[in-house]
């Protein structure tokens, strides 16, 4: 049963960021750890979002009209996100970072999952879309996360967050349609197992990426590891703050729109909001 709001509008916003101004190396408040956290995440997006599109498109034929329209809008948004993260990652490289090893790790992980059945790819996409949606919620709910960031970089991340919330139910609804002949128990088993696997790889891979970028800054050893852990789980504690929302994924009957957080989008886009000000 579909739980996506019937009046939901998924609106691709064709915005460009950071084309004229070059960010400093540590563009988030002069903090190498905070900068590495977002840089390592951004490196995953160009190839990752192309994979999201492939995974969802594989099941668009025969989708109900409302879902088919949402898939089309989802694809347009993700294509724009890919373009902007390519541009952002060029700035990361221009600041002196070598991200080839991080990109190779993403390619290797995606090559592994792409060899699996299409339904497994959709389950992986659905799990990672939950991750991006809850990260987006946290980013918009507390503007302090990017308050000290380079304005163009902050605008790009806020824009991306708005659209991740907007289309957060598309992969899930596509999964529900694709598995409509499955039992509820089988659906829960598969999506829960895939989420556990995705979480393990996501956290390990992003941690390696953050530490590699910090290594390139000459920052290594237990002290910097502790500092990175504190950033993720202490203050500002983005990873810690999303854990309750992450856990909701395992509830029987879960749906991404059980939490209707479109108010965050409205707040971001209203005059004076983090997106309107960009």
What is the pLDDT averaged over residues 175-191? 97
Domain count, the chain: 1
Residues whose CB is less than 8 angstroms from the CB of residue 202 and which lie 6 or more positions away in sequence, other chains included: 128, 131
Token output for 115: 């060899």
Residue 105 has pLDDT above 80, yes or no: yes
Strand partners, 149: 28
What is the pLDDT averaged over residues 78-92? 97
What is the pLDDT averaged over residues 97-104? 97
> Does any domain span residue 162?
yes
Token output for 51: 């994979």
> Does any domain span residue 76?
yes
Q: Measured in whole angstroms, how far is the alpha carbon of residue 70 from the centre of its chain?
A: 18
Q: Is 14 helix (H, G, I), strand (E, B) or coil?
A: coil
Contact 28, 67 (CB under 8 A): no
Q: Is 12 helix (H, G, I), strand (E, B) or coil?
A: coil
> Does any domain span residue 13?
no
Q: With cut-offs at 50, 70 and 90, classify the pLDDT of residue 45.
A: very high
Q: Give CA–CA dist 53/77, Å, rounded.
A: 10
Residues whose CB is less than 8 angstroms from the CB of residue 72 and which lie 6 or more positions away in sequence, other chains included: none
Among candidate residues 238, 235, 28, 268, the one with its CA nearest the CA of residue 160: 268
Q: Tens of pLDDT along 149-177? A: 999 999 999 999 999 999 999 999 999 99
pLDDT at residue 23, rounded to an integer: 66
Percent of residues, the chain, with pLDDT higher than 70: 97
Residue 48 has pLDDT above 90, yes or no: yes
Strand partners, 28: 149
CA angle, corner 67, sides to 65 and 70, nearest 5?
Answer: 110
The H-or-E segment that residue 15 falls in is none
Residue 249 belongs to domain spanning: 32-269
Q: With cut-offs at 50, 70 and 90, classify the pLDDT of residue 178.
A: very high
The model's pTM is 0.95
pLDDT at residue 273, rounded to an integer: 84
> Does any domain span residue 27?
no
> Does any domain span residue 18?
no
Output the domain CATH number for residue 221.
1.20.1260
pLDDT at residue 278, rounded to an integer: 54
pLDDT at residue 214, rounded to an integer: 98
> Does any domain span residue 209?
yes
DSSP designation for 220: -
Counting Cβ atoms within 10 Å, is residue 115 exposed (0-12), middle (13-18) or buried (19+)? exposed
* Terminal Cα-to-Cα distance of the chain (whole angstroms): 38
Token output for 222: 């237990």
Q: With cut-offs at 50, 70 and 90, classify the pLDDT of residue 222.
A: very high
What is the pLDDT averaged over residues 59-68? 94
Residues whose CB is less than 8 angstroms from the CB of residue 247 and which lie 6 or more positions away in sequence, other chains included: none
Token output for 173: 């609804």
Residue 235 has pLDDT above 70, yes or no: yes
Count the Cβ atoms, other than its own, within 10 Å of residue 94: 11
pLDDT at residue 18, rounded to an integer: 85
pLDDT at residue 274, rounded to an integer: 84
Mutual angle of helices 32-57 and 65-94, in 10-degree steps: 150
> Does any domain span residue 188?
yes
Q: Give CA–CA dist 271/142, Å, rounded.
A: 17
């Amino acid at each position: 049963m579909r739980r996506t709001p019937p009046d939901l509008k998924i609106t691709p916003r064709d915005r460009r960021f950071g084309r004229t101004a070059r960010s400093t190396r540590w563009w988030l408040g002069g903090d190498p750890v905070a900068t590495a956290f977002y840089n390592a995440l951004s490196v995953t997006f160009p190839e990752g979002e192309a994979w999201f599109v492939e995974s969802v498109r594989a099941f668009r034929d025969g989708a109900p009209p409302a879902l088919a329209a949402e898939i089309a809008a989802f694809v347009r948004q993700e294509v724009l996100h890919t373009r902007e993260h390519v541009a952002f990652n060029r700035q990361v490289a221009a600041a002196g970072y070598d991200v080839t090893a991080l990109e190779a790790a993403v390619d290797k992980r995606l090559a592994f999952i792409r060899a699996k059945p299409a339904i497994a790819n959709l389950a992986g996409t659905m799990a990672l879309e939950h991750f991006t949606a809850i990260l987006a919620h946290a980013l918009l709910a507390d503007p302090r996360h990017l308050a000290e960031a380079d304005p163009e970089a902050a605008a790009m991340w806020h824009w991306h967050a708005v659209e991740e919330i907007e289309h957060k139910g598309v992969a899930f609804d596509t999964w529900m349609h694709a598995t409509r002949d499955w039992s509820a128990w089988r659906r829960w088993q598969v999506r829960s197992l895939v989420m556990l696997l995705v979480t393990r790889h996501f956290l390990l891979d992003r941690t390696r990426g953050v530490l590699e970028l910090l290594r390139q800054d000459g920052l290594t050893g237990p002290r910097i590891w502790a500092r990175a852990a504190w950033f993720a789980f202490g203050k500002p504690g983005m990873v810690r703050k999303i854990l309750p929302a992450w856990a909701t994924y395992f509830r029987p009957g879960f749906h991404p729109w059980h939490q209707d957080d479109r108010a965050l989008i409205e707040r971001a886009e209203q005059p004076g909001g983090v997106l309107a000000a960009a």
